[in-house]
Amino acid sequence: MGTSRSIFTFALFLVLPVGARAQDNPAEKKPTTLEKIITLHLPHASGPVPVYYSPGFEARALKYQKSLIACQQWYGKQVGKHVDFTLAVLNKADWERATPVEYPMPHNMGVYQSSPPPVVILPARFEDFPHSAGFTYDPELLVENISYHELGHVYAHFIDMETDDNLLAEIYANIFMVSFVRSQRPDMLFFLQGPTAKLPPERYTSLEDLQYLAGDVRND
């Protein structure tokens, strides 16, 4: 994610799914991501941010729901616009039935080349991400942090900040995330300070690298 090296590694993963999503064929009506999730008949909880979750992950889903409700309210106050969205917290099996993005990468659907309504999709177990232990001692806290970035994409779309430039899109989402963390989540400030010593040396370390990779994905 573009504004801090601590999240930079994730920016590379976040760009890839966005660029790889196929545009909808107007001649063929496809189910939306939310419709796919609903047909899974998962447990769910209502609220300002409705949440669907895989069995066995209620506690984690409700924690993420509470966190995103606070973020939704704060973003809304800053931009003067309320945006409705749904949260899904899915295990690998449910994930693969609902979204084309590789598990367990948090992402959003329903904006930018995918049919509304918007959905923020989080993994039931971010611990399944390769080398996740190197990113953080607290996977749940990291997923919360990334979820603010994903919701930033949604808000950017609805306030006409959306762009076809993947680099700018990530920066816009990061502006939302970093602003919220600095204002409301001091417990997450360390994510903005740099990579942990546990991580291997980074192969890509500049915004130019990120733009170059994003261009490759768009051209495939």
pLDDT at 202: 64
Place of tokens 């130019």: 208
Half-sphere exposure of 116 (CA within 13 A, CB side): 8
How many alpha carbons lie under 13 Å from residue 110 in its C-beta half-sphere?
A: 26
Residue from 159, 155, 122, 154 nearest 141 by CA: 122
**Residue tagged 């490759």 (tokens):** 216
Kindly report the CATH number that applies to the domain delimited by 5-20+33-194: 3.40.390
CA distance 38 to 46: 13
State the burial class of residue 175 (Cβ atoms within 10 Å of its Cβ: 0-12, 13-18, 19+). Answer: middle
| Ranges of each domain in the chain | 5-20+33-194
Q: Residues 6 or more apart from 209 whose CB is under 8 A from it?
A: none
Alpha-helix residue ranges (DSSP H) falling in the chain: 5-20, 33-38, 58-79, 92-98, 132-135, 139-158, 166-184, 207-219
Return the pLDDT at 131. 66
Residue listed under structure tokens 């417990």:
187
Tokens of 132: 């996740």
Q: Specify the pLDDT at position 1.
A: 41
**What's the pLDDT at 86?**
98
- Separation of alpha carbons 121 and 36, rounded Å: 12
What does each of the 220 residues of the chain score in pLDDT, given as a tens digit?
A: 433 333 434 443 444 444 333 344 545 678 999 999 999 999 999 999 999 999 999 999 999 999 999 999 999 999 999 999 999 999 999 999 999 999 999 999 999 767 899 999 999 999 887 766 666 789 999 999 999 999 999 999 999 998 888 889 999 999 999 999 999 999 999 989 866 666 666 676 676 776 676 654 443 3
Helix axes 5-20, 139-158, angle to 10 degrees: 60
